[in-house]
Structures are given as C-alpha cells and as structure tokens.
Amino acid sequence: MPNHLKYIFQAFPNFKEKIEFMFHHNENFHDLCEDYLLCINKILELKKDNSHHSIHIQEYQDIQNDLEREIFQIISKAD
C-alpha cells in the first residue's frame, strides 16, 4: 500500500485499486486526494499539539467529511 494514500484507503477500504488508479491517472481526483491528505495531516498536527484547538479541529473534521463525500461520489461513479 502506498504510504501517501493510506488514510484514503482507510476511509474507503473497498476501493483501494480504483483509488490508486484514479490518483495516478486523473488530475482532479489527485488534487482532491491531496487536499484530503493535507486536511488529515492538519488534524493530526492539531491533536498532537494538545492545546486549545478544538474549534479548529472541528472545522478541519467538517472539511474532511466534505472531502470524503466528494471522493466517494467520484469513486462510486467511476468505471
């Protein structure tokens, strides 16, 4: 499993092959995945910091959920 896609694979374990293919062959999907990975990394960073970032964490989690919905829509429609 490519390390750069591990969080996306965790979110969508039944679509690993499709995700990897689309990540390498569809620029828009690639950019969407990059945004998702940046968001996940920011959440992890804020959680590690352990200070008063709960509002920011929630905002990023909302973005994460939106990105997951968008990713799912794309991979579920792709052939």
Distance CA 39, CA 45 (A): 10
φ/ψ region of 2 (left if φ > 0, alpha if ψ in -120 to 50, else beta) reads beta
> What's the length of the chain?
79
User: pTM for this one?
Assistant: 0.88
pLDDT number for residue 34: 96
Per-residue pLDDT of the chain (79 residues; tens, 9 = 90+): 457 799 999 999 999 999 999 999 999 999 999 999 999 999 999 888 876 778 889 999 999 999 999 999 999 998 7
